[in-house]
Structure 1
Amino acid sequence: MTLRAELTVPEDVITPGEALTAHLRVWNESRIVDAYQLWLVGPPAYWPDAEPDLGQLPVYPGNHEKINIPLSLPRDSELTPGPLTFAIRVASVEDPAAVAVPEADIQVGEFHDATIEADRARVGGALWSSNLVLVENTGNATATVRLRVAPEAKDAPLAVSLRRSRLVLKPGEQARVALMTRVRTPMFTGTAANWPIVIHLEQEHAEGASASFTHRQRPLVPKPVLKGLIMAVTALVAFAVLWFSPVGGKKPKVAAESAKGPTQMEAVQQEQKKEEDAKKKEEEQAEQKAEQEKKDQKDAGALKKQQLNKSIAVTSRPGGKLEDSYTVPKGYRLAVKSLNLSGSGPGVLFVTVAGNQLSSQDAASAKDVTVPETLSPKEDQKVTLRVQCQPPQSGGPSPSPGPSTSGQPGTLTTCEGTVVLVGELIPLKGPNAVEIKPPS
């Protein structure tokens, strides 16, 4: 028995993030009432809002039925502009050998978007400072962006410059731009001042974005050094007054040299030098202690590395899930060491990491999956395992003689899969962060 089905979609260009409705028509050219199992095939089956199993469609003999399939395109830079082909697998319940797979093309449009962020929220210096601007093209088309930077306050004594002000980025590409802040009016002494600096990102086909950081202008002579200088000058003046003042109505006489060693003047100078050295050493120890305490507090609050051993399981049995995933927690990226895959039943297991499909294997002969070192999912990205069971070919229970109106999917042979995710959670920022090594 032949099976005829037709799939159509709107001819308009659909921008990622928008929705569309596909139309499927199925003709029953047999002499009996039949129902048809519908499966979504292709990229839309893996989109977050799509369901691969579309259920059953009953059709009377000599008639045809129409079903509307709503789809929502994800706003993702990996969804390239142009035609995107997908299909619907239509299989007869009465005759499993009767299968049709009509195809259609979605015209995917372009969208432009970009993000900007300062590498450090706060920098400081008496004469100058430097920082990095992180720019990422989150759209699906090549973008040309321009950067402008200036202090937030018009009276700020700063001059800020960018190494590059114009960038051309491919979809998903990131760039780092060096930024230099120069102090035009230094402070000799006094209290440090904070100056906010704003970076603006401009695009031709999309709204702009902005980021900011703070430059802390420090004085040329810090307070501890100034205090030490004042104390040293005061001590020197007091010593001079005491030395040259008359004692008992007579001027003190300076001994040329005693038989025991240095003169009176040399002894006083040595004693004064010892006091100054001891005081300087105490100040240095106090500064080192304060810096160590500040570092210990920062390290105590920073995120730490964590070992991960997570099992993800899927099954087509009642009460089971056809898809399961693990989401990378906030502030971390996942360095995947191994994906140990196993399964059973007449189905296909799909493994996706950060939106990239790494493997599609038969459940009964599933093997471990190798993950490239450069593919390291970040916070809120997922490692997903999905099972797609094939409908039974023969030997299944006999369907009811009339059309089904319950909308429930047909009976499927049980298939299941498990992946053991082994890796390490590494902080994105802080002292425990580790850069991703580029491919050799």
Structure 2
Amino acid sequence: MPTVTVSPGAEATTTLTVRNDGDIVEAYTFEVIGDCAAWATVEPARVSLYPGTSETVTVRLAPPRSPEVKAGEVPLGVRVLPVEHPESVSVPETTVIVEPFHELRTKLEPGRRRGWLGARFRVAVQNQGNTPVDVVFTGKQEGEELRLAFTPERLSLQPGESAETGLRVRARKLIWFGEPASWPFEVKVAESTGTDTGTEDERPGGPEPLPGEFAQIPLLPKWLLIVLAALLALLLAWFTLVRPAVRSTAEEAVEAAQEQQEKQAEQERQQAGATDGGTGSPAGGQEQGQGQGTAPGAGATGNGGAGTGGSGSTGGFGGINPEQSSQTIDVQTNAGATRDKAYKVPQGKVFGVTDIVVANFQGDEGVLTISFGERKITTIALETFRNQDYHWVTPIQIPENATVTASVTCSKPGTPATGTQASGCHQVLNVSGVLSDIAP
């Protein structure tokens, strides 16, 4: 059989002549063997010959246009089997040349994407031809608004093989605000053919360019600009109109409350002084002294035994000839030491304490304890204040010969206004109240 050339998707034929050299009538069957068997047939498939006669049959070749049919030389064999003498089987052979064909199937996914500055796409390609190819990817965009980059830029594909490459589309500048912009572009997939000069050319007749689109959106949408403008207007209104009015109203309320508290405290002091300075008389013209008693140790007099005795007790002044009195206790203590200073109530007197003011003007650190007689009033840390004051509506009575004591434990001297750290702690305690004679 002669050599035959065939193109996938087309049809070609060759012939085979069979001769009966026997002395009886013989029937012959034909069977194609080899790689061509799937797409080759013999017509007719069976012949009968008289002795000394011959007949020519046709071998028809119809390879499909598929990557499974590789380009190149393919052996072709036809088994000729005599029915009466099967031991005389023969297999004539020839070569079929399958011509190459090129076909690429491409797809861009997705076809459209949105982004502020760039987006990523995928280009899928499949070699539907019957020969290996080198594929090159190129991009095109009208104008200079986009940059297109492929990773990788080229691929090598065997027949029937599929692969993907990444496409990154990037705009050359941002759109800060305004309307979105649409940038169409094209992706071209072509086979590369090498030349003797070492350069590469694209094989003509490749697939159509793939259209794509990148929709560039503004960084600041319109609604955000409207919201920002509204917020700015609200802030301006707050700082120029609302905040001053709120601050003024709050300050007026605070001043009014402070003034009311000061008036109330002053009235209570005056009432307490008037009550402690006078002598109680029973209502309804009852005799003086009826139902009265003297509290032990305090010298205070009260109706119905209402006075409370004992050192540092509370209640009325319980004395006569009251007068305002203020005493200062100055305590200077070395670092790491403890020192006590006291004011002693004179003989025959009772001291009704209403106010205490403590000054820690150096900002010392340590502990201050204030005691009235044997009674501890308070213990405070020096570092928590610079000036501290205490007030009592009902005076605390301190009997004769009892003391108001300030005890300071100096942990760390502070720094006064001079800027030089002091060598010791220095506290000043001012005690104010009413000093009265003990009623006989």
TM-score w.r.t. length of structure 2: 0.48
Question: Which structure shows the bigger proportion of residues in strand conformation?
Answer: 2
Higher relative contact order (CA 8 A, sep 6+): 1
Which has the larger Rg?
Answer: 2
